[in-house]
Structure 1
Amino acid sequence: MTPTTKERILDVAIDLFSKKGYNGVSIREITGAVGIKESSLYNHFTNKDEILGTILENFRIDFARITPPLQVVDEILSRTTPEQFLLQGLLNFKAHAAQPQIGKVWNIVYVEQYRDPRARTILLDHMIQGTLAWLEQIFARWVEAGLIKPLSPRLLAAEYQYPIFAMVTEFNLLKWEDKDTSEIEQRMIDHLHFFLQAVSV
C-alpha cells in the first residue's frame, strides 16, 4: 500500500529527527525530503512540534502493546508458567523493536527526553514506572498462587525490570549502529532464568 503524504512526512521526520535531533531539522528540510511544498505540509500538521507530538504518541501506543492489559492477564497467567510469561514479554519487545522505524523513535525519545516533557513522560511514566507497576501486579499474582517466594511484588518488579531496561538500552544502541545484538539478547534470557531460579519456590 502506497503511504499517504501524512505518513511520508512522519517517516521523513523520524529519519531526520533521529539523526539530527528535533532542533537540528527545519520544516523546509522535511518537505524537501518528502518532495512537497512547505505549504502542503500545513494541510496535515500545524507545525514541526505537532509532527514530533504525533511521532511520540504513535510510539507510546505501539509500546503499550508489548504488555497485555491487566484485564486479560489472569486468563493468560492461568495457562502459562512464569518462565513462559516472561519469555513472551521479551518476544513481544523484540517484535516491537523489529519494526523499521521504531529504533529511530527510541533514539528520538532518548535524545529529546531532557528537552521535551512528552518524551520524558513516555520514558519515565510509561516505559519505566508504568512497566514496573504492571509487573508488580504480575508478581503479586504469582506470590498469591505460591509460584514464587513470598517477597514484596514491588521489589521483585524492580529487581527483574531494571536490569532488563539497561539491556534494552544496550540493545537499541547496538541496533542503531547496525551491530550484532545476539549477545545482549541472550543476556536478557540468562537474566530471566537467573531471576526465576532465585525467586521460585
Structure 2
Amino acid sequence: MRNNTRQRILEVSLELFSQKGFSAVSIRDICGRVQIKESTLYYYFRNKQAVFDELVSLFEKKAEEMMKRLEEGLNGGIFPSNGNFYRNVCDAFFENYLMDDFCNKVMRLLQIEQYGNEKVREIYDCWMFEKPLAFQGKVFRMLMEAGVIAKSDSVYLAVKYYAPISMFARRWLFAGELTEEKKGMFRREAYYHIERFFAEIKAGE
C-alpha cells in the first residue's frame, strides 16, 4: 500500500507539473488529486521539490538505459549499414523515449521549467540535444569509416539529421495533450525526413 501511494503521488505530480509547470502546482493540488492528506505526502517526500527531483532522477535513469542500449548496439556489431539499424534506433528513440508516456511528460516539464532554472535547462539540453547529437555523430563517423557514405563533417550531419526531428517533436509531441493522432503526425513527418535525408547524402557521394 505504501509503495502504491508513493507511486500515485509521483504519477499525479508529473501529470500536473507537465501541464501547468512546477511553480503553478501546490502540495494541496497534488493531495487533492491523489485523495490523501498533506501529512501523508510529507511521509514520503520532504517537500514538493523532492517530488520533482525524484521524477527527474527516474527520467535520467531511464534515458541513460536507452542510450546504453543504443551504444551497445553499435559496439556489439549491429552496424549502421544494416537495413534494420535505423528502424531499431527510431523505434527506441521515438517510441520508447519521445513518445513514452513518462519520458514525454518529464520532457514537457523540463521544457517549461528550463527558462527559470539553469540546472533544469542543462538537463533538458543534455537529453533533448547533447546526447542524441553525440550518438548520431558517432553513427555517421562509423558510416564514413565503412565507406557507406562519403567523408564529411559528422557533427554537421548529425545536426542536419536531428534538427527537423527535434522540431517535429516540439510541434507534435510536446505541445498539448499527447494523442495517437499527434504521434501519427510525428511518425509521418519524422520518417519521411529520415528517408529523404539518407537518399540525399547517398546521392551526394
| TM-score, L = length of structure 2 | 0.85
Please identify, of 5-14 and 121-130, the stretch whose mean Cα deviation from structure 2 is larger.
Answer: 121-130
The answer (yes or no) to whether the contact 1:174–1:180 under 8 Å persists in 2 is no
The equivalences for 1:101-180 within 5 A come to 101-173=102-174, 176=177, 178=179, 180=181
Higher relative contact order (CA closer than 8 Å, sequence separation 6+) = 1
What runs of 5+ residues in structure 1 fail to find an aligned partner? none
Output one character per residue of 1:63-99: Cα deviation in whole Å (capped at 9) or x when no partner. Answer: 3344335344132433x53653222222122233444
Say yes or no: does 1:35 pair with 2:35.
yes
2:123 aligned partner, one-letter code: I
What runs of 5+ residues in structure 2 fail to find an aligned partner? none
Identity %: 26
The answer (yes or no) to whether the contact 1:14–1:55 under 8 Å persists in 2 is yes
2:16 aligned partner, one-letter code: L
1:38 aligned partner, one-letter code: E
- Root-mean-square deviation (CA, aligned residues, Å) is 2.4
1:190 aligned partner, one-letter code: Y
Output one character per residue of 1:17-69: Cα deviation in whole Å (capped at 9) or x when no partner. Answer: 12222111111221222122212212211110111111122222223344335
CA distance in 2, matches of 1:151, 1:135: 14
CA distance in 1, matches of 2:165, 2:120: 20
The equivalences for 1:1-201 within 5 A come to 4-67=4-67, 68-78=69-79, 81=81, 84-92=84-92, 93-173=94-174, 176=177, 178=179, 180-181=181-182, 182-200=184-202, 201=205
2:78 aligned partner, one-letter code: L
CA distance in 1, matches of 2:114, 2:82: 33
Aligned residues: 200
2:187 aligned partner, one-letter code: E
The answer (yes or no) to whether the contact 1:171–1:185 under 8 Å persists in 2 is no
The offset of 1:179, in angstroms, is 6.6
Please identify, of 125-134 and 136-145, the stretch whose mean Cα deviation from structure 2 is larger.
Answer: 125-134
